[in-house]
Amino acid sequence: MQTYIDGQVYAVKIIKFNKDDNQNKVLREVKALAKCNHKNVVRYFTAWIEWRMVQFYDSDDKDGSNVINTDDDAPLKDPDSMLFIQMEHCCHLLFHRNLDHLLEQSTISKGEVLKYFREMVRGLYHIHGKKIIHGDLSRKNIFIDAKKVIKVADFGLARLLDNSATAIKSGSSGTKAYLAPEAETGAPIDEKIDIYIYKNMNFFFVKMKVNLNIY
């Protein structure tokens, strides 16, 4: 979380990667966020990458002042790369940070439950309209802002469909409790896996209503 000169508070997600990582995969979250513009999807502002070179030091050097020569025999380590993603700050200190916290800490009405369900659907409908598969919907990835508005967030496992594609090869798994069967088996996936996850989330949500005193 950072406050800039404009007086606004933003969330900044930091992702560390190196040359062995697939950069397209690392940047996929940025590309997905940049496509979205909806009140029920976390808002993206900008992103940037920073590099940091790490040098080898002589293990016998007590004060760390003697850097080993960076010739062919003692090169610099591969640079650490850091991806910074600047987004809107959804989590209010006086309110629940995400759907998980809401379920654990709050008594909510039936009307509020239906409102949250509708807003999740609207956010998901917008995401799918941009040919994006979220891939990791869970209560922890559904934020709630200070005005009690749902924000679908965390596109770290998102996949982008080409304009002509209707399905793609399954990649990294999401939250096991909600995962669609085809995502677990490695079969081709499409937007339907998000709908399956959404259905499971709602099942668990409603199942907990006894503890939530929904009326």
pLDDT tens track, the chain, 215 positions? 555 567 788 889 998 887 667 778 888 999 999 999 999 999 999 999 887 655 444 445 445 444 434 344 434 445 678 899 999 988 655 456 788 787 776 677 778 888 888 999 999 999 999 999 998 888 889 998 888 899 999 999 898 887 654 555 555 555 666 667 666 666 677 888 888 888 877 766 665 554 444 43
Q: What is the pLDDT of residue 193?
A: 87
Reading phi first (left if > 0) and then psi (alpha if -120 to 50, else beta), residue 148 is in: left
Torsion of CA 103, 149, 36, 163, to 10 degrees: 60
Report the C-alpha gap between 91 and 108 in whole angstroms.
18
Domain ranges (residues) in the chain:
2-87, 91-212
Task: Judge: domain 91-212, CATH 1.20.120.1200.
Answer: no
What is the structure's pLDDT at 71? 42
* Per-residue model confidence (pLDDT) at position 212: 46
Q: What is the pLDDT of residue 210?
A: 42
CB 76 within 8 A of CB 24: no
2-87 fold: Phosphorylase Kinase; domain 1 (3.30.200)
